[in-house]
Chain A
Amino acid sequence: MAMFKELPEDLVTQILLWLPVVSLLRFKCVCKSWYALITHQNFITKHLLQKKKNNNNRSNTQLLLKLRDLRWNYVVYTLDYETLQVSLTQSLPPLFSFGDYEEGGIYVVGSCNGLVCLHGNSIYEFNVVIWNPATKETKVVPESNVPPLACIGFGFDAKTNDYKIINIRFLFHPHSNSRNYPYQNYSYQKAVYSLNADSWRIVDWEHRRVHFLTDDYKGPMTYVNGVASWRVLGDGYDWGGVLSFDMSDEVFLETPLPDVVMRNRDPNFWEELFLLNESIAMAVSSHSEDWSNVCFDIWLLLEVGVKDSWTKLFTIGPGIPRPLGFWKNGTMFLENVNGLVLYDPSTKEMTDL
């Protein structure tokens, strides 16, 4: 039997699910039925799930590093999560009408399911873009040029299969008494952008007043499972906690910090949120017994909104640089003046990267 065998569509689909994105994009050209199959939302979703399953549900299957190359242009490196080897180099998408963003820079708001949300600040413009590094598609978010922002987050609403951006915007009140500190003259406004609707919805802020402790250089939000979180400080600086936004319900949830953390804060306190598996972790600066050295306590928030679920995991230091986040098997990335360092808390080994 020398006949060439044809495979039925369901088997073709099963084969295609194993292919990398670049191959799938090319194979859109094979024939019309493949074009329809590959571009269909069902297939895209299945492909994403398959990728997640193959990576043991670890969503950071790749890391992106944004650096400047020799010509001072931004370049993005895709690293393999396991090996930290560079697998791809590409430039940032041609984002903004004014080419040069050296003044303010371009920042990563967050990423989710392979989509990356970037925002760029120049003296001329402020824009937000959703970018897919695998397919190189970009979507400029309309009406996103409304600085200043208190904070910005990006995530996925699993209930409506929609990607959303949350902006907390300052609303200044010009008629306020000018004797007051500047922070008295504004309130917040909550703006949510839906990719499916391609539009913003603006809602008044019904939460308590907070200050967002965000540092664009390190990335403003911590995101997991449809919830974006930021560190916040209450008015008067006597209250601190984590404010979390659920992308589906679009509500904010507050988790106060543990009492012991608040009590021991000194003027130079340093805190950072990151992830450990699927929970929010926090590194808090603390002092060694003789107050001469800085250590870092690592806490884990087991349940968002529940203050009592903060659990102290371990302490690193003294003499250890600041922790940035966890990698695999409980090792951590630390930030040194010279760059990144890998640290294993159990063996206390440090490796320069």
Chain B
Amino acid sequence: MANNGENPSPDVGGKTVKLKADDGEIFEVEEAVAMELQTVKSFFDDDGVSYDTVVPLLNVSSTALAKVIQYCRRAVELRAKSGDDEGANEKAREEREGLEAELVREESDEGIKELILAANYLNIKDMLSFLCRAVGDRIKNKSVEYVRRFFVLENDFSPEEEERTRNEVAWAFEGVDAD
């Protein structure tokens, strides 16, 4: 690992890593933030890969990558703030939840799916977890038809099969949001 001892804290203009999105746009990020993306971390864990190498992230759009980087940057900051102090921990947790809510609030269905796919590909566990939960919250009161459109699924039940399945749990269809 080159140039290590000089600047240990990443937020003092230390080492950076270059990430390339699917459209070729390059993002330069602090090392600590880049390492939140386990995929990137694994990329550099291989012997002989220099930190100057640009990491190609072929499956991530620049829009999604920008949001991921922004989230991870804030998450790293928050984690640095909380230590052993329970009070600070609690506050950091609340702030992180606020950060997560902010990320998903404005997103369209397509946008949030794109983020999930990105978080999955980049292997960011916490982000993927809250994104899945956010989608769960979005769809839990929705109709079957809405869910099919959201997940791009064909209804492969015959009309009789579908009717029978619906009748099994007729009560579960009460109070569903209108599409």
**What is the size category of the interface that chain B forms with chain A?**
35 or more
- Interface residue? A70 (CB, 8 A): no
- Interface residue? B100 (CB, 8 A): no
> 0/1 per residue, A1-41, Cβ < 8 Å to B?
10011110001101111111011011111111011000000
**CB of A135 to closest CB in B, whole Å:** 8
- Interface residue? B67 (CB, 8 A): no
**CB of B103 to closest CB in A, whole Å:** 16
Q: A5-B117, A6-B151 are in contact. Are A29 and B136 (CB under 8 A)?
A: no
Tell me which residues across on chain B come within 8 A of A135, comparing CB atoms. 169
Kindly specify which of B31-39, B46-54, B72-80, B170-178 makes contact with the partner chain. Answer: B170-178
Interface of B: prevailing SS: helix
Tell me which residues across on chain A come within 8 A of B147, comparing CB atoms. 27, 30
16 A–B contact pairs at CB < 8 A?
A5-B114, A5-B152, A6-B151, A7-B151, A12-B151, A18-B135, A19-B136, A19-B139, A19-B140, A23-B139, A23-B140, A26-B176, A28-B169, A30-B144, A30-B155, A31-B157
Tell me whether A20 and B140 are in contact (CB under 8 A): yes
**CB of A347 to closest CB in B, whole Å:** 22
> 0/1 per residue, B114-137, Cβ < 8 Å to A?
101100100000001100110111
Tell me whether A11 and B140 are in contact (CB under 8 A): no
Tell me whether B117 and A29 are in contact (CB under 8 A): no
Q: How many angstroms from the CA of A31 to the CA of B61 in the assembled complex?
A: 30
CB-CB nearest 6 A-B residue pairs: A18-B136, A25-B169, A25-B172, A26-B172, A23-B140, A14-B132
- Interface residue? B153 (CB, 8 A): yes
Q: How many angstroms from the CA of A17 to the CA of B135 in the assembled complex?
A: 11
**CB of B165 to closest CB in A, whole Å:** 5
**CB of A25 to closest CB in B, whole Å:** 4
Binding site for A on B (CB under 8 A): 61, 110, 113-114, 116-117, 120, 128-129, 132-133, 135-137, 139-141, 144, 147-148, 151-157, 162, 165-166, 168-169, 171-173, 176
**CB of B129 to closest CB in A, whole Å:** 8
Q: Of residues B61, B144, B154, which shows the largest number of chain A Cβ atoms within 10 Å of its Cβ?
A: B144
**CB of A4 to closest CB in B, whole Å:** 5
Q: How many angstroms from the CA of A30 to the CA of B151 in the assembled complex?
A: 10
Q: How many angstroms from the CA of A29 to the CA of B140 in the assembled complex?
A: 14
Tell me which residues across on chain A come within 8 A of B176, comparing CB atoms. 26
Tell me which residues across on chain B come within 8 A of A1, comparing CB atoms. 61
Binding site for B on A (CB under 8 A): 1, 4-7, 11-12, 14-20, 22-23, 25-32, 34-35, 135-136
Q: A7-B113, A26-B173 are in contact. Are A32 and B140 (CB under 8 A)?
A: no
Q: How many angstroms from the CA of A27 to the CA of B153 in the assembled complex?
A: 12
Q: Which residue of A lies closest to B133 (CB)?
A: A18
Tell me whether B116 and A22 are in contact (CB under 8 A): no
Tell me whether B156 and A16 are in contact (CB under 8 A): no
Tell me which residues across on chain B come within 8 A of A34, comparing CB atoms. 153
Tell me which residues across on chain B come within 8 A of A23, comparing CB atoms. 139-141, 172
Tell me whether B172 and A32 are in contact (CB under 8 A): no
**CB of A78 to closest CB in B, whole Å:** 14
Query: Among A14, A29, A136, which residue has its beta carbon within 8 angstroms of that of B128?
Result: A14
Tell me which residues across on chain B come within 8 A of A14, comparing CB atoms. 128-129, 132
Tell me whether B156 and A31 are in contact (CB under 8 A): yes
Q: How many angstroms from the CA of A24 to the CA of B61 in the assembled complex?
A: 32
Tell me which residues across on chain A come within 8 A of B110, comparing CB atoms. 4-5
Tell me whether A31 and B133 are in contact (CB under 8 A): no
Q: How many angstroms from the CA of A3 to the CA of B126 in the assembled complex?
A: 27
Tell me which residues across on chain A come within 8 A of B171, comparing CB atoms. 136
> Knowing that A32-B157, A136-B171 are A-B contacts, what are 15 other residue pairs whose CB atoms are under 8 Å apart, sorted by A's residue number?
A4-B110, A5-B117, A5-B152, A11-B116, A14-B128, A15-B135, A17-B136, A18-B137, A23-B140, A23-B172, A26-B144, A28-B165, A29-B144, A29-B162, A31-B154
Tell me which residues across on chain B come within 8 A of A29, comparing CB atoms. 144, 157, 162, 165-166
Q: How many angstroms from the CA of A23 to the CA of B110 in the assembled complex?
A: 21
Tell me which residues across on chain A come within 8 A of B140, comparing CB atoms. 19-20, 23
Q: A16-B136, A27-B147, A32-B157 are in contact. Are A7 and B166 (CB under 8 A)?
A: no
